[in-house]
Structure 1
Amino acid sequence: MVAPPDNDVLWARGLHHTHGATPALTGVSLGVREGEILAVTGPRGSGKTTLLKCLSGQLVPTEGEVWFDGSSLHTLSSPSRERLRLDRFGWIDTEPHLVPELTAWENAALPLLLRGAGHRAAKHAAHEWLERLDVGMCARRRPARLDQSQRQRVAVARALAAAPRVLFADEPTAPLHSADGTQVLRTLTTAARSHRITVVLATYDPQVAALADRTVALLDGRRSGATPETTGAPDEESRAACSLSV
């Protein structure tokens, strides 16, 4: 077993996963630095969602390793992975999946409350992010009284209010109109950089990927190339080759 690089908060090697008899990932390796925004691109069905779920511990890869902050994620028990996701990870899905019985602010505060945060602190954080995402006026409304754009913004507020170490976003602006999506993405990327939140963003939209620091492309479950950073740092392929050598 090869230890992950010290400067990668999230690292994966040789990930394979199948859905039934259909391969979804075939030998994918990558690393993500702390505070980096990484876009995973590719057409629908290329394995983007499966990769994010393996990296976040929602799925255990059939083969391969996933490490978070120097500890192996792929060997954790299911309860331990669930606790890690609650404490350290955030997730934004294509659909918001809000709890219908809760108001918008209660939905946004839910991860903090489940984590044991005080009611006042959780409510304050929820309201702060709802305001930043221009849905503060909806704080007391339940999801049924919100339109699709408002519900998705509440889901983004829920992910950010919990101050995750790593935020996974699976096509987060797919249900939004262009102007709404742009505003949400700007808020998301600005918050990530100001709070040193690592973001792994799945998208098939080149304009969305352009907001990231670096891009990794998938095709049919395999790495099909990477776009190097503009800072002069080694690109992902070079880092992977170095980190996987023994």
Structure 2
Amino acid sequence: MTQLTQVSAWKSFGGTLSVYDHESPLLGCTMRFAVYVPPQAAHGPVPVLWYLSGLTCTWANMMEKSGVQEHAARHGLIIIAPDTSPRGEHVPNDDAYDLGQGAGFYLTATQEPWAKNYKMDQYITDELPALIAANVPSADMSRQGIFGHSMGGHGAITLHLKNQGTYKSCSAFSPITSPCRVPWGEKAFTAYLGPLSVAWEQYDATELVKERQSKALILIDTGTADSFLETQLKPEIFIKACEKDGQRLDYRLREGYGHDYYFIATFMDEHIAHHAKALKG
């Protein structure tokens, strides 16, 4: 089993926030992630909640800006924040912010030069959970949920729909729910997966929900002042698909909020409570 190297650790709201490095055979590089373990973990295993960040982000955006530790400590949840892509000098990259390092899109690339390293969905669902199970004894891997922001919201919903037995709860902030139909997704999918094909549909929440409705209530918050609302998010497409195909969805448009962590921090308590109810009920 790959060893973890602790980079840093801080006490927070009675629990501990730790940052680790490890070598990833799957991605072919060194990866860094953060784990917040709440005080309740001292008395036995607690549920695990994965947070997937958006374009250009790392573990730090979530753990430093969202205020999640206070809410996780109150509800007794472990929070895991992985990186958003493989990284390193030898890892393929692009000068644009929305492709390459920092923009893994939580999929398995099939096109060169990306195919060797860009396997973020497998990393999130297989390699990293195995490390958590082996190194965080308080993590109850039978009770896992997943959420995320923007590109990470896309990842959270698609991974939930494809792994419903693993992720029993799901939510998102400002998610890209129809990547096949918006510029961010079209660009990334063309690069990573090749020309438009059925392969794209396996990473599109709107397409997945037509065949793989889950029993979970998916909670989504998006700001009405989000500068990407009309061009990249287009929530009405996913909302209509859920209504048509019977997926339980609570999609809330929040007046005046943007695409930022001020917005996320405002409603983080409600998302944590949503997952706690599902995972501890």
Q: TM-score, normalised by structure 2?
A: 0.28
TM-score for the superposition, normalised by structure 1: 0.31
Higher relative contact order (CA 8 A, sep 6+): 1
